[in-house]
Structure 1
Amino acid sequence: MTRIVLFENIHPSAREVFNAAGFEDIVTHASSLPPDALREALRGAHLVGIRSRTHIDAALLAGAPDLRAIGCFCIGTNQVDLEAAMMHGVPVFNAPFSNTRSVAELVLGEAILLLRRIPEKNDRVHHGHWDKTAEGAYEARGKTLGIIGYGNIGSQVGTLAEAAGMRVIFHDIEAKLPLGNARAMTSLKKLLAQADVVTLHVPGGKGTHNIIDAAALASMKRGSILINASRGTVVDIDALCAALDSGHLSGAALDVFPVEPKSVDEPLASPLIGKRNVILTPHIGGSTQESQENIGREVAEKLARFVLSGTTKGAVNFPEIPYQPVAGAARILHVHRNLPGAMGTLSNMMAEHGLNIASQQLQTRGQIGYVITDVEGTVDDTVMSVLRAHPITVRCDLV
């Protein structure tokens, strides 16, 4: 029986998908767990579902031999050691599209609020000031939005911004097809010099660490606005504070931070706290009922399809094989070291045990090869033991 463990209050739509697929052994945890408790919770789990606060490293993977796949019920996957998961034969799935609209709406809303100085005006009214002035307040219409990272979310932000009358420019390290009237900028510096509002939609990692630093902020137009709803490490917070304090930037909105609280009651430690022209939100860009329901369904479907058919389409760290109906009496899922002669070795072992190959799909990625083999014949415990024991095998399962 497949055992599923879900952490961090994943939407009930995931359970609905699992139940419909015939999976009943589902354990849920409302939050992330400390390392020791997490290690114990993973014991005997075949599928694991997490969000951004649960971190699965190489040590946890080594101590969870039954684990077959990990579902990140979010966009990001940097909370999982993807290389270690691949080397253990464990594909990792995420939801790259399901919260796109939610994040895009938040970004556009924050842009409009900051252009109108609403956070500051709101704070002053709460403290007894009726500051009814138009100074420093602008319409979104006619302003230039600069999008750094023109992927699923970035392009959606541009589409919504154009509907509000904004001019859209973008910069991406890869060539992207512009939507609507958006125009690509050949360099980040050119984008920063033209944009009234800059919004970031890039992945984390070394390549994007502090891409908005003091020099980048100095390249922005005086009085412009910065929004970051991507990864907390892409903005130099101290440099941003300095740009806000000097008046070079008129406002900022951040939904992500270099170090984020690990619990509801832990306060955010940031020099931005208390600034009237800054919107701080607790990493809730994709936290709408619609997006969480969609994410729960999307990731659960990928996990269920993997267990039932072996398909790894959409895996972020693993050779991708799309779905095909079973063509034989049984289906063997074999993960092996990507070495010369691997397929011949596998086929010979099957033939030695009277198995005839009816269909075979192979894909490789780096050091790993993954093959789905449909066979005619009886696949018993002896056959599986032989396949699993061979030095070339990383993992072998039967559908």
Structure 2
Amino acid sequence: MDTIKPSNQSSVLIVDEMHLSLLPMLEKIGYFPDYRPEIKRQEIIDILGDYKGMLIRSKTKVDEGLLKNASNLKFIGRAGAGLDLIDKVTAEGKGIRVFAANEGNRVAVAEHIIGMLLALMNNLLIADHQVREGKWLREENRGYEIFGKTVGIIGYGNNGSETAKRLAAFGCKILAYDKYKVEFSDGYATESTMQEIFDKADILSFHVPLTNETYQLANREFLNSFANNIYIANASRGEIVVLDALLEGLNTGKIRGACLDVLENEKLNQLTSVQKDTFEQLLKSDKVIFSPHVAGWTHESYIRINEILIDKIQAIFN
């Protein structure tokens, strides 16, 4: 059966899997949603000129080649945090508005980081495994409290500030550094220099986008700049933390433990030989907890992200 081709004045191409609540939300504000999560790159290029908007998640890289036929496109929205998948310069040069739903998963990310830190610092995964094997080792699993620790937060946007709220409730002192903000101290965090974080932090959490400035930010020199031995949490982008440097820090004791929701290369079947060696050594460490890039991936955030996208579309075109 032939489908009726929508007018480019109201049609939105959805090229990644989204919560299906998005479709009636778009229709409610006057847009025709064309949901094609299995679409291939060449087909997007061929048909993109027929659409007013495009919504992506993580699968689709939006570059100059993808946008070459996007003569009628007015907006690109990302269902998630960060715009590193989108060539903003090319898009905005074509008059295309670009935005993400950064606010949509901030609660999920903050809770996930707290969960990982609690599990790591209290040996919960190790202890659970031991009990299942019939081992009842109490002293060996004596943990550390989050209470009273000084936490350095790098990046004080949606996720950074939400994480600060949660950690402040645990009785932590929060030092926040954000290169692009000033006078942002609040009831949860104190605006700080990077040097103050180097000098005082017990726990470090990254909340920055992937840019040329943040790529491999946490290298050997960076990690060795801390006065204290620290715990690290990264639920932002994997390329920010150099895993070889992290492994070295774990081996020397400079890094007391790491919570990694993201990796430098998340395609585990395509690791280079060097990456594979580092990853396998990290897998053997009981000082590391992994999750598969799901910090912002709750059932609630899946819907909330759609709501944020709709609000931004309405704000732009109303």
**TM-score computed with the length of structure 1 as normaliser:** 0.69
Note if 1:109 corresponds to 2:76. Answer: no
Measured against aligned partners, the alpha-carbon deviations of 1:326-384 in whole angstroms (never above 9, x if no partner) come to xxxxxxxxxxxxxxxxxxxxxxxxxxxxxxxxxxxxxxxxxxxxxxxxxxxxxxxxxxx
Q: Residue 298 in 1 paired to residue 305 in 2?
A: no
Any gaps of 5 or more consecutive residues in structure 2? Answer: 1-6
CA distance in 1 between partners of 2:135 and 2:47 (Å): 53
Deviations 1:142-192 (A, max 9, x none): 122111112222122111111112222222223242222532322x23313
1:296 shift after superposition? 0.7
> Using a 3 Å threshold, how does the CA distance of structure 1 residues 181 and 61 change in structure 2: closer, same or farther?
closer
Q: Distance in 2 between matches of 1:191 and 1:164?
A: 19
Please say which of residues 41-50 and 70-79 is displaced more in the overlay.
Answer: 41-50
Provide the secondary structure at the position in 1 that maps to 2:156. coil
Question: Residues 243-322 of structure 1 correspond to what in structure 2 (within 5 A)?
Answer: 243-261=249-267, 271=279, 272-304=282-314, 306=316, 311=317
1:8 aligns to what? 16
Tell me the amino acid that sits aligned with residue 83 of structure 1.
V
Q: Please give the residue correspondences for 1:367-386 in structure 2 after superposition, counting only pairs within 5 Å.
A: none
Match of 2:136 among 127, 130, 134: 130
Superposed, 1:47-126 pairs within 5 Å as: 47-126=53-132
Q: Distance in 2 between matches of 1:214 and 1:224?
A: 14
One-letter amino acid of the structure 2 residue matched with residue 231 of structure 1: R
Secondary structure of the structure 2 residue equivalent to 1:92: strand
Q: Which residue of 2 aligns with 1:171?
A: 177
Tell me, in whole angstroms, the C-alpha distance in 1 between the residues paired with 2:248 and 2:40. Answer: 36
Alpha-carbon deviation of 1:116? 1.1
Structure 2 SS opposite 1:12: coil
What CA RMSD, in Å, does the superposition of the two structures yield over aligned residues? 2.5
SS of residue matched to 2:152: strand
- Aligned twin of 1:149: 155
1:183-242, CA deviations, whole angstroms, 9 ceiling, x for partnerless residues?
2322x2331332221101112111112221112222335542100111222111110011
What is the distance in 2 between the residues matched to 1:141 and 1:23? 49
1:17 equivalenced with 2:25 (yes/no): yes
Structure that is richer in helix per residue: 2
Letter in 2 for 1:278: V
Match of 2:200 among 182, 194, 201: 194
1:144–1:166: 8 Å Cα contact kept in structure 2?
yes
CA distance in 2, matches of 1:258, 1:71: 25
Q: Residue 232 and residue 178 in structure 1: after superposition, are their counterparts in 2 closer, same or farther (change >3 A)?
A: same
Give 5+ residue unaligned stretches, structure 1. Answer: 312-322, 324-399
Point out the more displaced range, 122-131 or 211-220: 122-131
Output the TM-score relative to the length of structure 2.
0.85
Question: Residues 38 and 241 (structure 1 numbering): CA distance in 2 closer, same or farther, change over 3 Å?
Answer: farther
Instruction: Give 1:76 shift.
Output: 0.9
Distance in 2 (CA, whole Å) between partners of 1:135 and 1:304 is 52
Is contact 2:63–2:86 with CA below 8 Å preserved after alignment? yes
For the 8 Å contact 2:198–2:226, the answer to whether it is kept is yes
